[in-house]
Amino acid sequence: MRAVKPIPPKDKISTEDPELAERFNRVLEEAVEAMEGSGIRYAFIGGVASGSLGRPRSTHDIDLFVMPEDAELSLRALGRKGFRTERTDPAWLYKGFKDGILVDVIFKSKGDIYLDSEMYQRMTSAEFHGKRLRFVAPEDLLIIKAVAHSELTPSHWHDAIALLTHARIDWDYLIRRARRAPRRILSLLLYAQSNDIGVPNWVIHALFEGIFGNTAEGAGERAAKEPSVQPPAARPQIYSAPRAAEEKITPEWCRVAVREPTPGGMSYHARDEYGVGHLHERLAEDPRTNELDIQIEQSGNTIILRGEVNAPERRKAVEQVAREYFPNTVIINEVRVLELKEPPESEPL
């Protein structure tokens, strides 16, 4: 694990209530003891991680990120430490409660992001309230935050921006891990540049080229030929931009696949970022949906839709728009209807 320069105590997450701060730190320490004592692979995300690696901010809950196979073990470990536990949502979230402090055990973040082996190996450590804790790497936390951002949780976006400002970013690793949400990460980095935050231009170019292909040349000609797309063989296969004396190459996941006409409509090869990107635009602009945060995953001839909407009718409309755009593709609709409740105590991920 790489070390992060500790944040001075005066700059750490704080609260105006000393009793709450003492209780929070005590429960935090007991949660760490539970996880360490059981040999569970875990890392902190959420407000504790954002405050330690990015901007100082208050938080009233503790977010543990674990591998799905360790979720049940984590709950048992907390139970042995006297936490009251619940299996809140078997798809992604369990909870533990002690002395009025909430511990979220998260095993799938929004956008189907998991604590995988590469993320675990890249963990970092830093001090929080005098304790040395393990966190996901700042690049992974940035992606988690950028993907989790929504109209209801704008703090995630600002947490991600703060990581760009305060943490030391491995740009090559960020580009590689951005395959889970390349457009969201590209938009975040462009926004950061608009605020004069130091994001290298070559990173922007690499993500843009990976998503949209070589659009700098012949853009008008291609636009006139839509929906046809030049096959990759007819244009450069990689993006290469100078950075000092070295060159950076767009990773394999960024390559745009071929889209071909068929008798019943358009057929998309696997990894067709172009077609999926246009479906994102359709879902955002179509008055039946106007949904910005639907996740789209393509596997062969199957499209999987995920996310949350506020009404059953909107869920049906999302599927209908997808079927209209991908008429010859199997559509699996895993979009959930959001139940409107009182705001939760913990920040959702």
Residue pair 109/93 in contact by the 8 Å Cβ criterion? no
d(CA 111, CA 147): 6
On the question of a common fold for 2-199 and 257-349, the answer reads: no
Query: What's the pLDDT at 348?
Result: 52
What would the pLDDT profile of 75-102 be if each residue is shown by its tens digit?
999 999 999 999 999 999 999 999 999 9
Show me where the domains of the chain are located: 2-199, 200-255, 257-349
Q: Which helix (H) or strand (E) holds 46?
A: helix 46-53
Question: Which band of pLDDT confidence, cut at 50, 70 and 90, is reported for residue 340?
Answer: low
What would the pLDDT profile of 35-81 be if each residue is shown by its tens digit?
999 999 999 999 899 888 988 777 888 999 999 999 999 999 999 99
How many Cα atoms occupy the beta-carbon half-sphere of 284 within 13 Å?
10
Beta bridge partners of 260: 267
Q: What is the mean pLDDT of residues 299-308?
A: 84
**Backbone phi, psi, residue 178, to 5°:** -70, 0
Question: Which band of pLDDT confidence, cut at 50, 70 and 90, is reported for residue 1?
Answer: low
Q: What is the mean pLDDT of residues 185-210?
A: 93
User: CATH assignment of 257-349, given 3.40.50, 1.10.3470, 2.40.160, 3.30.70?
Assistant: 3.30.70
Residue pair 268/275 in contact by the 8 Å Cβ criterion? yes
Q: What is the mean pLDDT of residues 303-326?
A: 89
User: CATH assignment of 2-199, given 3.20.20.60, 3.30.460.40, 3.40.50.300, 3.30.750.24?
Assistant: 3.30.460.40
What would the pLDDT profile of 164-174 be if each residue is shown by its tens digit?
999 999 999 99
Query: What's the pLDDT at 262?
Result: 42
Query: Of 172, 168, 112, 183, whose CA–CA distance to 138 is shortest?
Result: 168
Percent of the chain at pLDDT exceeding 90: 46
How far is CA 121 from its chain centroid?
A: 18
Query: What's the pLDDT at 37?
Result: 92
Query: What's the pLDDT at 282?
Result: 83
Q: What is the mean pLDDT of residues 203-212?
A: 92
The CA–CA distances, whole Å, from 37 to 74, 78, 172 equal: 11, 10, 35
**Backbone phi, psi, residue 166, to 5°:** -110, -25
If you average pLDDT over every residue of the chain, what do you get? 78
Query: What's the pLDDT at 204?
Result: 95
Q: What is the mean pLDDT of residues 224-252?
A: 40
d(CA 155, CA 141): 13
Query: Of 135, 163, 124, 127, whose CA–CA distance to 9 is shortest?
Result: 127
Residue pair 148/346 in contact by the 8 Å Cβ criterion? no
Residue pair 97/81 in contact by the 8 Å Cβ criterion? no
Q: Which residue carries 């533990």 as its tokens?
A: 96
